[in-house]
Structure 1
């Protein structure tokens, strides 16, 4: 389990960001990237062990989030946890890990 970083807590700002993402507004993507990119990159790098691959995983993760934000369900967990699950799945896929 990865404990190397701390994800931001759920907040009104996060709810605004999610709303902007749902509306496909660039500001929402910018907020998402500014808030989570460092933490998600670190997770990706920890799993892949390769900076280039970790960057590709991060890019694919953000594309997935942009295209699938409607799949996020706050009743099933915090937004940050959903993001971690996505980046981990992408990193495992890239490294052929289960």
Structure 2
């Protein structure tokens, strides 16, 4: 399971989610771009900038809820420690 954070091209929005297949979920977010009925579509938040691997769904959901409760500053600090330049992560080439 994964917990992940997406942002938009201007880096003004942060979206936090969970999935068991990060590649598939990123594709789904990119396909929904511009779909104003969904948060990620409305704000064009489909750029992966952070992710964590969790052992199971229970822990992933708990971590997602924890992150969603954080301030923007605390979320930014987490991202900066993982991906200081906030570059879009390509899962095929990511070396961490």
**Shorter-chain TM-score: what band?**
0.3 to 0.5
Structure number with higher strand proportion: 2
Structure number with higher helix proportion: 1
